[in-house]
Amino acid sequence: MSLKVLILGVNGFIGSNLSAHILENRDWEIYGLDIGRNKISHLLDNPRFHYVEGDINISKEWIEYHVKKCDVILPLVAIANPSTYVSDPLSVFELDFEANLEIVRHCVKYKKRILFPSTSEVYGMSMDSPYNEETSTLVTGPIHKERWIYSSCKQLLDRVIYAYGSRGALPFTLFRPFNWFGTGLDNVWEPKEGSSRVITQFLSAMLHDRDINLVNGGEQRRCFLYVDDAMDAMLRIIENKDNCADGRIINIGSPDNESSVKQLAETMLNIVAEYPGYENIRERVNVNVVEGRTYYGEGYQDLVTRVPCIDNAKNLLGWTPSTSLEDGLRKMIAYYMAASPSEQDLDANPPSIKTSTTPQKIAV
């Protein structure tokens, strides 16, 4: 019998890419729930892809039934965008913590294997470099720096899952994405400033002739991981050969793809300038320096650098990332440059969400 994988938030960045990779490379069945379907429409006809439209806070019976029925549970519904941490921290708490705690408890009840998306943000402003899953301290800022509510929610769920797991009540793996990027990360066609993570924000600015904003000068550094490498790691975690991922915390990132935000903007401008019609992109797009509190609000606080130790991923999963930052950016930019107007619609948020005054319930 083939493995049954439950993906809550199947239309999100990770959910949609993971589903495509599973259907292409494995014989597993996917049961997926989401409020939207725009990023998975090309998968809906696959007989191994069982999609239902629903909200994690409403479709509770469907969720409990499918936790019981499936072998592996991936709760990927969360707000994962720093601007929302600052503008609407309570929605982050309600969705990322409260709603997901219920899923964790279902997994405990039915003794089902949970693969929980922790985050690089749990390390916060830790001075370690690289960040190690077993030894690094987790450092967040004062309470009025509301950016840290996301990190805190994820950290507490990590601790809850670990506590259940270490007492034999829950099979688990905590995986920690480090700045994954690729097609489907946020909405490139959404022109709203601050609405997405840095790579989509910059690409969106270049496609709409808007300014690029380097928050606090852009000297802060991240290690970016291309989505295909990330999905290779995810398949290995789900596969769990010889139980290699059981009870483990695993950073999934690329230390070799470290870049400052300023360098990232330069790299992206250089690639975009190679496309016909974009040769003069540097004249059309200003690169500004803005203060973090002006751009995001008073509750924002940043970290200087964030590098993952990936020994666990290498040793447990036999995984190493292989796509350079520039190659990954080239692939992502090529996709959006070739997108037809109808594909642009597909990548946009469904109208019901777009017009909502409440924050989007998005899936990471």
Segment lying near ligand UGA (by CB under 6 A), choices 43-51, 55-63, 125-133, 209-217? 209-217
197 lies in the site for ligand UGA, by CB under 6 A: yes
CB of 34 to ligand UGA, least distance (A): 18
Residue closer to ligand UGA, measured from CB, 215 or 310: 215
Q: Which of 120, 173, 187, 312 binds ligand UGA (CB under 6 A)?
A: 120
HSE-CB at 220 with a 13 A cutoff on CA atoms is 16
* Residue 307: how many other CB atoms lie within 10 Å: 21
Residue 196 has what DSSP assignment? Answer: S
Applying CB under 6 A, among 9, 177, 182, 359 the residue interacting with ligand UGA is 177
Which stretch in 119-127, 132-140, 312-320, 350-358 sits in contact with ligand UGA by CB under 6 A?
A: 119-127
Q: Per-residue string for binding with ligand UGA, 79-108, x by CB under 6 A?
A: -x-x--------------------------
| Cis amide bond preceding 130, omega within 30 | yes
Which stretch in 25-33, 108-116, 164-172, 217-225 sits in contact with ligand UGA by CB under 6 A? 217-225
Interface with ligand UGA, residue 121, by CB under 6 A: yes
Q: Which two tokens stand for residue 170?
A: 């829950």
Which one, of 5, 170, 124, lies nearest residue 76 by Cα? 5
Site mask for ligand UGA (CB under 6 A), range 138-157, x = bound: ------------x-------
CB of 218 to ligand UGA, least distance (A): 5
- Strand, helix or coil at 4? strand
- Parallel, antiparallel or unpaired: strands 180-181 and 172-177: unpaired
Is residue 178 a contact residue for ligand UGA (CB under 6 A)? Answer: yes
Q: Check the CA dihedral 11-12-16-18 and report its sign.
A: negative
For the record, the structure tokens of 284 come out as 């059309």
**Which span sits near ligand UGA by CB under 6 A: 27-35, 46-54, 174-182, 346-354?**
174-182
DSSP string, 70-93: -SEEEE-B----HHHHHH-HHHHI
Q: Find where tokens 């493995």 sit.
A: 3
User: Which of 11, 16, 17, 119: binder of ligand UGA (CB under 6 A)?
Assistant: 119
Instruction: With CA atoms as reference, report the closest residue to 184 among 35, 55, 348.
Output: 348
CA atoms within 13 A on the CB side of 356: 12
Q: How many CA atoms lie within 13 A of 202 on its CB side?
A: 25
Of the residues 14, 33, 73, 214, which one makes contact with ligand UGA according to CB under 6 A: 214
Range in contact with ligand UGA (rule: CB under 6 A) among 34-42, 211-219, 230-238, 341-349: 211-219
Residue 204 as a binder of ligand UGA (CB under 6 A): the answer is no
Which residues fall within 8 angstroms of residue 347, CB to CB, at 6 or more apart?
Answer: 38, 39, 184, 187, 188, 189, 339
Which 258-297 positions form the footprint of ligand UGA (CB under 6 A)?
261
Contact criterion met (CB below 8 Å) for 174 and 158:
yes
Residues in the chain: 364
* Total residues binding ligand UGA (CB under 6 A): 20
Per-residue CA distances from 161 to 167, 223, 305, 307, 353 (Å): 10, 26, 27, 24, 31
Angle, nearest 10°, between helix axes 325-338 and 227-239?
Answer: 110
* 17 scored as a contact of ligand UGA (CB under 6 A): no
360 binds ligand UGA (CB under 6 A): no
Q: How far is the CB of 310 from ligand UGA (least distance, A)?
A: 13
Minimum distance of ligand UGA from residue 144's CB (angstroms): 18
Which residues between 27 and 86 bind ligand UGA (CB under 6 A)? 80, 82
For ligand UGA, give the closer residue by CB, 173 or 179. 179
Residues that bind ligand UGA (CB under 6 A): 80, 82, 119-121, 150, 177-179, 197-198, 201, 213-215, 218, 220, 222, 261, 302
